[in-house]
Amino acid sequence: MQLPQQFYQGRKLQSLVENQTSYDVNHAALHIFETHLQAERVLLEFDKPVLASMLQGKKVMHLQDLQSFDFLPGESLILPANEVMCIDFPEASMNHPTRCLAMAISEEKIGLVMDFMNETMPRIEGEDWSFLTYNFHFTNDHSIYEILKRLIFLFTENHPSKDYFVDNMLQELIIRILQSNARKLYTDQAISLASSHRLAYIVDYVRKNLHQPLSVESLSQKAYMSPSNFYRVFKNELGIAPVDFIINERIRLAVSMLRNPKRKIKDIFMDCGFDNRSYFNRVFKQKYGMTPKSFQKQIIQEQVQ
């Protein structure tokens, strides 16, 4: 993600390790950190819940009660207030600095958004929306990526209505992150939750029956809901339409099959539940920027190397 020109025009490079440029509004603060030298065990802490998102380069994160992990561009991490981050910068240099944003959001704002969601987007099993499990490490989807890009622009822009603009974008960001967290929970724990959560049961059923025809109507029957209510609840809670979720799962399965050089494309698209090869090719290319055949060739070349 490229930072806007107004950031470079306004920032001062005073430190080569975690140089900090900050912008404040009513309910949040945006901090952009830049590191131009390799460094280890750099400590960082915020007094509010924070969304950290990598923009450029690589960090190695050491967090309490978690194994160390690489933190790469396009990934984000949710941390609680007063969580100490211990960070390594193994590849930072003057020509290739590491850049990361940290957006500290007030608990008041988070609470207001959750109240709004519980009132207007109630969960299917009657549970309240509550702030997600901290240390949630995830890959930004397109919507979250675009929101972060827009927020960086708004924070760095000198506009009299900045607080209002940012406040609205923060609400959408929090909602989408909560939906992303719910989607990850249901997909990661679909089997164990299937007996007590209808959406987890549907996720588990979809994954086990990708080769079969699947529709909103048939899935809504299994959830004992009307098609319109099922569609609304599914999208509200997981942040994605049922049909799009099915397509994503079929592509995910196809990717795993394409890693096997012995599998043929004509068999893969049918095993994944696609009606025809041209549609399979089109959907796959939209997601990966190449055809399934090209993807398989690339994987085979990497395995040979």
Q: What is the pLDDT of residues 197-206, one digit of tens each?
A: 899 999 999 9
**CATH number of the domain at 189-305, out of 1.10.1370.30, 1.20.1730.10, 1.10.10.60, 3.40.50.300?**
1.10.10.60
Average pLDDT over residues 66-78: 92
**Other C-beta atoms lying within 10 Å of the C-beta of residue 110:** 20
Q: Whole-structure pTM over 0.85, yes or no?
A: no
Residue partners of 223: CB distance under 8 A and separation at least 6: 198, 199, 201, 202, 230
Q: What is the pLDDT of residues 113-134, one digit of tens each?
A: 999 999 999 888 778 887 766 6
Q: List the domain boundaries for the chain.
A: 5-184, 189-305
Task: Report whether 83 contacts 57 (CB < 8 A).
Answer: no
- Alpha-helical runs (H) found in the chain: 5-10, 107-120, 142-156, 162-188, 190-193, 198-208, 216-222, 227-238, 242-258, 265-271, 277-288, 292-304
Q: What is the second-level CATH architecture of the domain 5-184?
A: Sandwich (2.60)
> Under DSSP, is residue 94 helix (H, G, I), strand (E, B) or coil?
coil
CA distance 137 to 142: 16
Q: What is the DSSP letter of 225?
A: S
Q: What is the pLDDT of residues 9-55, one digit of tens each?
A: 888 888 999 999 999 999 999 999 999 999 999 999 999 999 999 99
> Under DSSP, is residue 42 helix (H, G, I), strand (E, B) or coil?
strand
- Report in angstroms the alpha-carbon separations of 62 from 51, 142, 143, 190, 261: 16, 27, 28, 29, 37
CA distance 30 to 103: 5
Q: In the structure encoding, which two tokens stand for residue 217, read together? A: 């109507």
Least confident span in 112-126, 127-141, 152-166: 127-141
